[in-house]
Structure 1
Amino acid sequence: MDLSVIICTYNRCHNLAECFRHLEAQQLDGGLDWEVLLVDNNSTDATRDFVQDFARNTPLNLHYTFCGEQGLSHARNHGIAEARGRRLVFIDDDIQVTPGWLQAIHDTFEEHDCDAVGGRIHLEISLEQLPKWIRPDMYGFLGYQDFGDRPYRLDGFREFPFGGNMAIHRRVFDKIGLFDTGMGRKGAGTRKAELFKGEETDFFHRLAENGGVIWYQPSALVHHKVLPHQLRRRFFLTLHHNAGILKACRDPTSYPNTIAGVPRFLYLQLLRAIWRYLGLAVGQGPDYAFRQLMNVAYFLGMIQGYYRRKTP
């Protein structure tokens, strides 16, 4: 089979009909064989019944599979094992693909013999409708990704595909392994369930370190729904706090000068971040300064992470 589209979901069957309808509109060159695999990550809503009923009334080659291990990385790895395609395409359950999306991904693999492809992700909400404190350099935290209008090779470190619109050749998993199950969203993706994202970053870093070829394809465009909780300051602060914890917990370095297991220099970095935030808040207002407050949350998370390493 040429392509498998893998969708992982948890208790969001209300999103699936729209996601499937946009997939139904895909038109591929004759002879291409593809499937849609829905991975139910331990849902307690009507996901199973909905998907099985939908599968009986759709032209899609749609399959349902259940993954009882909670977590997005577990679900993706389960999908990799169950899928039949040579190239595995991952989207989220709140993604709406556009016409020509899957063909563009297939053509990019064919043209460049690459290991992975990433496409554009635009937000369903207008950028002008976002709160003023969400600056353009923060759009990526909502899932937005746009590297411009021309295809090119990504380095895999500074630039890499986002999980809402990424495709990976099966041979890659044989070479570098699967997604790290210690990372990735767990549960519904709200509040503490956002803990320890970063599995995509880790995966593409490993791929790049092993000489993997990653291409960006702007014609592979999808639209991503922004959920209400993602437009709250708490979402951004939690995301950065947890990123700091993850960074510290996975840091292999042994630091000689520590306080309670925390490198001394981190306390200074935290104080500097707080000072910068206060200066910006007074000078340009709290909305403008919020990006710096996210840095404060990150350093607090790092301190907590190093302390956790000392006191398991």
Structure 2
Amino acid sequence: MRVTVMIPTQRRLGGLAVAARSVFAQAGVLSGDLELVIVDNDQAPSAQATAVKLAIEAPFPIHYVHEARPGVAYARNAGMAKASGDLIAFLDDDEEAPAGWLSALLAAQLRYEADVVFGPVRARAPLSVVSHRDYLERFFSREGQAEAGVIDHYYGCGDSLLRRAALPDPVAPFAIERNHIGGEDDMLFGQMQARGAIFAWEPAAWVWEDPVPGRLTLGYTIARAFAYGQGPTSHCAAASPPDWLGVARWMAVGVVQAVLFGAMAGLKWPTQAHDRAEWLDRAARGLGKTLWWGPFKIQFYGRTAS
């Protein structure tokens, strides 16, 4: 089966080069079965020159796609339209895959006949980051169960392998209404789960993540935690027909979490407790469950203007 590795990118030329070269170094996969699709989601084709240089050293075809329309869903869909693989592996432009990453994903897909396989993400902050370092690395990491197997939940798109035939739309499966706020992958996987898709977890298919230094702050992560908290309530509201009982339930849960976890954070902050940021994170996620509609949506994606 032909395999496409897709790397969406936006103005991270160094990270793009690291991610792509880690794909070149994959072991246990025949290069004749591989292709790499680089999707440049910048108004100007800023990654084109880097993609051309990478194509010279690549052991398999590289396809460069310029998607000028701002938005993470536009970018992923543009890559899907170009990809020829039966299986699509996603790697972010701030990630680096060890040599056994892709073969582990492929083996798990075959073993469990999975429609989607997810792997762990291990964030690493530069040594210059001292304040809240442990929390920040955990925030950008993806932890899961120690054993491989079929799971009843899903994760984000970065470090995943999708079986194209299982997608509701094999060419443009990502919802463009999530372009600027994210969660387009959660919406897709939620739809797939409702249709009976099989999800699997493979601990051996892990990748490094090197977060952009500007994101290694509480200002960014707490805002992002708030946005993550909006997910379950927004999902109920977006259902067809809308699940208003679910909306009310998640909003009520959010109020309780925001009050209790916020109080705990308030108690721990003056003492400089090592876990104070975690409690603030939990409070923000609870608040997001309650304040989930239009005016409270935070735009994290789709800003490509210079």
TM score, norm. by length of structure 1: 0.77
Change (3 A) 1:56 1:151: same
Change (3 A) 1:277 1:58: closer
Tell me which amino acid in the other structure corresponds to 2:149: Y
Which residue does 1:231 correspond to in 2? 216
- Cα deviation 1:242-263 (Å, max 9, x = unaligned): 23455555543558xx9xxxx7
Give the secondary structure class of the aligned counterpart of 1:46: coil
8 Å contact 1:143–1:162 — kept in the other structure?
Answer: no
Q: CA deviation at 1:41?
A: 0.9
Aligned mates of 1:307, 1:25 — CA distance in 2: 44
Tell me which amino acid in the other structure corresponds to 2:139: F
- The alignment's C-alpha RMSD in Å is 3.2
The answer to whether 1:210 aligns with 2:195 is: yes
8 Å contact 2:148–2:203 — kept in the other structure?
Answer: yes
The answer to whether 1:153 aligns with 2:147 is: no
Q: CA deviation at 1:220?
A: 1.8
Structure 1: tracts of 5 or more residues without a match: 187-195
- How many pairs were matched up? 286
Tell me which amino acid in the other structure corresponds to 1:231: L
8 Å contact 1:120–1:221 — kept in the other structure?
Answer: yes
Change (3 A) 1:32 1:114: farther
Give the secondary structure class of the aligned counterpart of 1:211: coil
- Cα deviation 1:92-141 (Å, max 9, x = unaligned): 01211111222222222223221111122222448x997564556x7553
Aligned mates of 1:5, 1:31 — CA distance in 2: 12
Q: CA deviation at 1:228?
A: 1.8
8 Å contact 2:104–2:205 — kept in the other structure?
Answer: yes
Alignment of 1:52-71 (within 5 A): 52-71=52-71
Aligned mates of 1:223, 1:251 — CA distance in 2: 33
Give the secondary structure class of the aligned counterpart of 1:294: helix
* Between 265-274 and 217-226, the greater mean CA deviation after superposition: 265-274
Aligned mates of 1:45, 1:90 — CA distance in 2: 21
Which residue does 1:170 correspond to in 2? 164
Aligned mates of 1:18, 1:265 — CA distance in 2: 41
Aligned mates of 1:227, 1:116 — CA distance in 2: 27
8 Å contact 1:41–1:67 — kept in the other structure?
Answer: yes
* Between 197-206 and 223-232, the greater mean CA deviation after superposition: 197-206
Give the secondary structure class of the aligned counterpart of 1:305: coil
Aligned mates of 1:27, 1:164 — CA distance in 2: 20
Aligned mates of 2:103, 2:32 — CA distance in 1: 9
2:265 to 272, 277, 283: 277
Aligned mates of 1:31, 1:290 — CA distance in 2: 44
Which residue does 2:175 correspond to in 1? 180
Aligned mates of 1:305, 1:30 — CA distance in 2: 46
Tell me which amino acid in the other structure corresponds to 1:173: L
Tell me which amino acid in the other structure corresponds to 1:143: S
Sequence identity, in percent? 20
Give the secondary structure class of the aligned counterpart of 1:15: helix
Aligned mates of 2:66, 2:9 — CA distance in 1: 10
Which residue does 2:301 correspond to in 1? none
Decide which structure has greater strand share.
1
Change (3 A) 1:43 1:223: farther
Structure 2: tracts of 5 or more residues without a match: 238-242, 297-306
Change (3 A) 1:280 1:27: closer
Aligned mates of 1:122, 1:226 — CA distance in 2: 10
Which residue does 2:73 correspond to in 1? 73
Aligned mates of 1:64, 1:32 — CA distance in 2: 18
- Cα deviation 1:254-287 (Å, max 9, x = unaligned): 58xx9xxxx78866664444333323435x5454
* Between 80-89 and 239-248, the greater mean CA deviation after superposition: 239-248
